[in-house]
Structure 1
Amino acid sequence: MRRKLLLAVVGMVAGISGAHFVLGTDSFDPVSSAAPIPVVPPVPVAEASVTKQDVPIELDGLGRVQAFNTVTVRTQVEGQIQRIVFNQGQTVQQGDLLVTIDPRIYQAKLEQDQATLARDQAHLANAQANLNRYKPLEHSGYATDQQVDTQQAMIDQLQASIKGDQAVIDQDQVELGYTKITAPISGVTGFRLVDEGNVVHPTDANGLVTIAQIQPIAVLFTLPQSALPDIQRQMASAGTAGLRVEAWSQDGATRLDTGKLETLDNTVDAASGTITLRADFPNAQKLLWPGEFVEARLVLRVQQDGLTVPAAVVQRGPDGAFAWVVRPDATVAPQPIQVAQMVRGTALVTAGLTAGQTVVSDGQYGLQPGDTVAARSPADTKDAPLMNAQTDQLGIQP
């Protein structure tokens, strides 16, 4: 065993000596043979500036458009429809003729009652003439007091009958007027529920047509009950001018109209913890339609000279919101910030940033404090997208 160990040591020494003989004593330099240190390139990012501008403080809620007034037009007399004047979906004004009902039976009844009135008026004239004859004879004793009183009572009776006849005639004229059905309000007609030739009755369930008033129009929307105190304070401050409400399409791309907050519901919904609000809009372009769902934006106030950044600047971490600030030497550092609201791609920052600072708006994925960054223009990112959390989820690694 000792002999084998001795031979192994001798062989190792001989191998080292041979290597030293081949390479030479002066050819080995440990400093020059070390690998070069790699240079880390700057991280490509998109940059934005912190700007100062007036920012409206808004509350967004899902709303549904509701007609200002809705009326179901019904007939008040029975009869056959002679003519339908309106078209479905037509805009009508209050008092416009919509439907005519056969008036002949009501015209005949009116004429009959007018004849009864004329007859009673003739009887009254004759009774009055007889009374005028009896009064001179009463003084001379040729007519008794009873005859005069009886004649006077007959006159009073006929006068009462004439008043009743006139009341019946007035009723006949009203019923005759009901054969011409007019629009009770201005608005847009819906689908026609009857056709010409149909016999209609006042007790029909569906009516003839519905009319919806859409100018002005209302929007009902809900907001969390936690916003109620702030809303009430701002309503009191606004006074008669009211708070502005904007109606936007559901995708938030198109503003449909601008109106005013009208009122709050008198009860908070206990099931959802929300309060319902109503806003009125002039709807001059008729872009709001009853039953339509919209995004309602209540403008509480305007923040003067607010600090704003693109919404993509705001990042979320364990300690809350922060932004990557670009230093003058092109290195980055995370900066905690406070965000009041994020609306339509813009964040209102209340603390942590100052106007004019440069921040990273895209490419934050993989950034470390002290990293050097290089700004890329939007045109440069079309073929090579910047690294962020979304691109990492798609499989693009930095």
Structure 2
Amino acid sequence: MARARASVMATGADRASNTTKSFPRPFILRKWRGATALIIALIWEIPFQKLDRARRTGRCEGQRTCNPVRLSSIFPKFSPFGPDRSESMPLARRQLVIASALTALLGLAGCDSPPEQVAQAPAAPPPAVSVVKVEVQDLRPSVSFTGRVTALDRVDLRARIDGFLEQRNFTEGQDVKSGDLLFVIEKAPYEARVASARGAVETAQARLDRTEIEYERQATLVKKDVAARSKLDDATAARDEARGDLNRLKAELQQAELQLSYTDIRAPISGRIGRSLISPGNFVSPSSGTLATIVSQDPIDVVFPISQREILKFREESGSAGKAEDLAVYLQFGKGDRYSHTGRINFMDVSVNAGTDTVEVRASFPNPERLLVDGQLVTAVVESDKPQPSLVVPQVAIQIDQTGPFVLVVNSENKIEVRRVEPGVSSGMLLVIKKGLQAGDLVVTEGVQKVRPGQAVQATVIMPEA
């Protein structure tokens, strides 16, 4: 029994090992037929395992179902166990033989067709990239600087006298006009001083009038040689002294009236007033600091530094040799939005900052919508006054390595080429190219990471963003 099992297993193993070789097709067909017959015999033998067990236990006496026709009795040569061994072989050994036969059958499956008849996998399509056609556009060369908004006029309101703050006649953040009453300091003490000074002036005026009369009397008597000359001198001195007192008291009255006027704090300029730093009811004085701040709004200035090297480079690229006042200045906010109004340069400092090697430039802008606020940080874009024809590409197409900037170009054979370029100034999302490209070249903007020089690609032309 062990020999039969070993023989069958060896036969299955030999068949499995031989499947790796290449045989002629008729031989493979014969092996398939033999394996098919072996499987049918094995499957036919499996249902009799229960019948064998029933005979051994004596449960089949008088039953017709206990005498089925075996395939081994009909086709002895197709039974792997023989006509007698299949009935006595245990079930575990039969299963082992079946497993060996299945292994041999799977091994033969690889020999169904020769290796040269296996279909080859289709080649991968070329990678897809997006390209932009290089165009010539009339651009105004520009250069950007970081600037800060500065109010043309700025005034800090302060108290010029001592006293309690009685009124605040404005809303914080509103626009005010020159001469508007903003704060009121208590007036009673200063009105009393004005009244006292005015009374003193009247008294001095009466005294002066009396001394004038006495002087005229003594002068008449002296002419008639009725009075002594000394009397006239005394009258003259008294008149002059009264006149001096009157002038002094008038000055004190003027000072009192001036201090009384300081109780009203008015707007010296037109603009927008900020937050009130001191509330009514507090005692204020010249040392109290700023009560509020007024800044002018329209027009408004933007100050930005520019180096001499940048000035020369901009003039060279733009071909502009005119005055700085002829250049247009635009403003951009944080998100790249452009200010709707155009500014003009109205001042360039006469000296260079030794610490930064820059010159301070100031441009004036209209501000009717109050979008520009004093101290705001903006980007100042200076543009040339004349447009220049230039080759432009999207800035995203520019790549940089150790050698310098370059772009990937799709040539006439739909293959990738590397072009070294010399970039110029930028204009929005576009970049001026001085050297390295020609009008009509297809520059890769999307899909740069999945291509290499010399590789064939599938290019799709898209429109560049302005």
Secondary structure of the residue aligned to 1:349 is strand
Matched, 1:309 2:393: yes
After superposition, give the CA deviation of every residue in 1:185-218 in whole Å (9 maximum; x if it has no partner).
22222221222222211221x3321222333333
Which amino acid is the alignment partner of residue 371 of structure 1? A
Distance 1:370 1:82, change over 3 A: closer
> Offset of 1:119 from its aligned partner?
1.5
The structure that is helix-richer by fraction is 2
Distance 2:416 2:160 in 1: 79
Distance 1:240 1:250, change over 3 A: closer
Which amino acid is the alignment partner of residue 280 of structure 1? S
1:318-329 equivalences in 2 (<5 Å): 318-328=402-412
After superposition, give the CA deviation of every residue in 1:155-175 in whole Å (9 maximum; x if it has no partner).
222222222122112111111
Question: Which 10-residue stretch deviates more, 281-290 or 296-305?
Answer: 296-305
Matched, 1:368 2:453: yes
Distance 1:238 1:150, change over 3 A: farther
Decide which of 179, 186, 192 is 1:102's aligned counterpart: 186
Decide which of 179, 193, 206 is 1:122's aligned counterpart: 206
Aligned partner of 2:293 in structure 1 is 210
The structure that is strand-richer by fraction is 1
1:144-223 equivalences in 2 (<5 Å): 144-204=228-288, 206-223=289-306
After superposition, give the CA deviation of every residue in 1:53-81 in whole Å (9 maximum; x if it has no partner).
23233332333333333322111111122
> Offset of 1:269 from its aligned partner?
5.9
Which amino acid is the alignment partner of residue 216 of structure 1? P
Distance 2:122 2:131 in 1: 26
Distance 1:325 1:78 in 2: 77
1:212-361 equivalences in 2 (<5 Å): 212-223=295-306, 226-227=309-310, 229-230=312-313, 237-239=321-323, 241-255=325-339, 257-261=341-345, 262-264=347-349, 266-268=351-353, 270=355, 277-299=361-383, 302-328=386-412, 330-361=414-445
Distance 1:63 1:126, change over 3 A: same
> Offset of 1:240 from its aligned partner?
6.6
Distance 2:404 2:387 in 1: 23
Distance 1:158 1:248, change over 3 A: same
Aligned partner of 1:132 in structure 2 is 216
Distance 1:123 1:377 in 2: 100
Contact 2:129 / 2:457 at 8 angstroms: preserved in 1? no
Secondary structure of the residue aligned to 1:208 is strand
Where does structure 2 lack aligned partners over 5 or more consecutive residues?
1-20, 29-115
Distance 1:329 1:246 in 2: 44
Aligned partner of 2:64 in structure 1 is none
Which amino acid is the alignment partner of residue 66 of structure 1? T
Task: Give TM-score, length-normalised by structure 2.
Answer: 0.66
Aligned partner of 2:68 in structure 1 is none
Query: 1 or 2 for the larger relative contact order (CA 8 Å, sep ≥6)?
Result: 1
> Offset of 1:370 from its aligned partner?
6.3
Which amino acid is the alignment partner of residue 88 of structure 1? E
> Offset of 1:225 from its aligned partner?
6.4
Which amino acid is the alignment partner of residue 460 of structure 2? A
Distance 1:229 1:77 in 2: 54
Which amino acid is the alignment partner of residue 184 of structure 1? P
Secondary structure of the residue aligned to 1:215 is coil
Which amino acid is the alignment partner of residue 263 of structure 1? M
Distance 1:110 1:70 in 2: 33
Distance 2:416 2:315 in 1: 43
Which amino acid is the alignment partner of residue 405 of structure 2? A
Where does structure 1 lack aligned partners over 5 or more consecutive residues?
1-15, 24-31, 379-398
Distance 1:39 1:188 in 2: 72
Percent identical residues: 26
Distance 2:189 2:315 in 1: 59
> Offset of 1:334 from its aligned partner?
3.1
After superposition, give the CA deviation of every residue in 1:111-148 in whole Å (9 maximum; x if it has no partner).
21111111221222222222222233222221222212
**Which structure has the larger Rg?**
2
Which amino acid is the alignment partner of residue 213 of structure 1? S
Secondary structure of the residue aligned to 1:153 is helix
> Offset of 1:265 from its aligned partner?
8.0
Secondary structure of the residue aligned to 1:255 is coil
Count of equivalent residues: 353
Distance 2:167 2:231 in 1: 58
